[in-house]
Amino acid sequence: MLGDTVLRWGACAGLSELQDCRLQGHDIAAAIGLLLVAYLAVPVGMRLVRTLQTLRARSFTPIFSRMLSAWVKTNSYGAETFFKADGADDDTAAQRQRALDRLAEYFQKRYPKSGVWSHEIRGGLSDLRFTDAGRVPFPFARLMQEKFNLCSVVTASEGPKLLDIDGHWSLDITGSYGVNVAGYDRYKEWMEKGWERVKDLGPVLGPLHPIVADNIAQLKAISKLDEVSFHMSGTEAVMAAIRLARFNTRRKLIVCFAGAYHG
């Protein structure tokens, strides 16, 4: 059937010795089918070519990690194995267990409100469970979470110190993971000054405050650029940068890092 159709089409195009050039009903359906196949083949072919061109730059680690994760069995140490993970003898393991128990008891007595507070919200706040899961290697996590069910709950700051809900001042050696490079007092001073300038307006989204002009002038002076753009988050800023780059370069492909930490 297909061979006859090809011969008839060839005769109509003058490419076949067959004299009969009459098209039949199924020829129209075949022609429409071929047009659809050709229409779909073009984008698929372009996608295939693009995939082959960028194959060397692709990261297959996330793909294979998800595939292999189903085969990996979790391993959680019990109390006996926990303290002998490195092959320690019985005396050393017992000494370690007593030390860990003393430390856990110290935290429970010193931070009772923090312990109760974290226990009450842990079920409704996935962030706590997520961060706790990666604080220590997985085999040790279960026992550590049982003994140290705490999170840092603070209500005030003074200089480099933080006040927790149990009334204890602690030295903040992390600086909020490097964000507060100027110190808490300076940030509170800037926040107070900023609030005084915009408190009459409130959190309006859309219209601009006159202070925006001052910010633009300072940013242009620092960056030595002609324009600036404000965004609600780092994610939106990156999205805007990608869109601008793709629009101005007329290129669709971008380079990204798979499995990287944010930022």
pLDDT digits (tens, 9 = 90+) for 26-73: 666 666 777 787 888 888 888 888 888 777 777 777 778 878 888 888
User: Given this model, what pLDDT does residue 78 score?
Assistant: 87
User: Given this model, what pLDDT does residue 164 score?
Assistant: 94
Q: Give Rg (Cα) of the chain.
A: 33
Q: Which residues of the chain have pLDDT under 50?
A: 2
User: Given this model, what pLDDT does residue 24 score?
Assistant: 58
User: Given this model, what pLDDT does residue 18 score?
Assistant: 52
Tokens 């060397």 belong to residue? 56
Amino acid at 7: L
Please state, in angstroms and rounded to a whole number, the distance separating the CA atoms of residues 98 and 96: 5
